[in-house]
Amino acid sequence: MAELDRLRLTQILSPAFPIGSFAHSQGLEWAIASGAVRDGAGMEDWVGSVISRGSGFADAVFLSMGRRPGADLDALADLYEAYLPSVGRRLEAMELGRGFGAMTKAGPVDLPYILAVARETAALDVPEAEVLGLYLQALAVQLLSVAVRFMPLGQGEAQRVLAAIAPVIADAAVRASGAGEEALCTFTPGADIAAMAQEHMETRIFRS
């Protein structure tokens, strides 16, 4: 039933689903510590950029490609790794993939998180743009939770930011749905540099 599939989707993409995403910032920790992101407006710009033209959008494209019948997930995993900008981001992708696999029917998997999600959701009777949109919203919540804990950013302001970028999330989900390798063109050098720099912070809270 589509209703049950939708409930399953919201469960496995919920920030409360215990895969360890709370331990990762995708370089946002460094961006906050360095002053590149200072407030809610900065978070809105940062998260919106990641989702509209950065790693978030690329992840949505990989999710779409991985959900197709006959998708070669191992080949996609190799391609995905080639797009990762840092060791920390690879660590995150594989740790979350293992955590996700352990909590789902698939069991333990040796796939990046986004492709583990692709395999788990491929058979769900839910429109693809909705699947991608919920994934991107979960990513936005993950990044906003970093700011709430580390900036700090108030929970009310975090919710305002999340509501403000809803159109960005919806647009990115539609653009990524059905897209292929030709769509894997991102341009968020600041976020990529932050992901690299976070690995070398003398004191850090997050693993990526």
Q: What is the pLDDT of residues 68-98, one digit of tens each?
A: 999 999 999 999 999 999 999 999 999 999 9
Packing angle of the helix pair 128-150, 166-176 (nearest 10 deg): 140
User: pLDDT at residue 43 above 70?
Assistant: yes
User: What's this model's pTM, rounded to 2 decimal places?
Assistant: 0.96
Compute the distance between CA of residue 59 and CA of residue 133 in angstroms, rounded to an integer: 11
CA angle 167, 175, 182 (to 5 degrees): 145
pLDDT at 1: 79
User: Torsion-angle region of residue 180: left (phi > 0), alpha (psi -120 to 50) or beta?
Assistant: beta
CB-based contact 62:183 (threshold 8 Å): no
What average pLDDT does this structure show over 157-172?
A: 98
pLDDT at 53: 97
User: pLDDT at residue 155 above 90?
Assistant: yes
Compute the distance between CA of residue 151 and CA of residue 38 in angstroms, rounded to an integer: 7
What average pLDDT does this structure show over 12-19?
A: 94
CATH number of 23-198: 1.10.4190.10
pLDDT at 108: 63
Compute the distance between CA of residue 18 and CA of residue 136 in angstroms, rounded to an integer: 17
pLDDT at 107: 63
Give the tens place of pLDDT for each residue, 100-144: 999 987 666 789 999 999 999 999 999 999 999 999 999 999 999
pLDDT, averaged across the chain: 95
117 CB-contact burial (10 Å; exposed 0-12 / middle 13-18 / buried 19+): buried
What average pLDDT does this structure show over 49-54?
A: 98
What average pLDDT does this structure show over 7-11?
A: 97
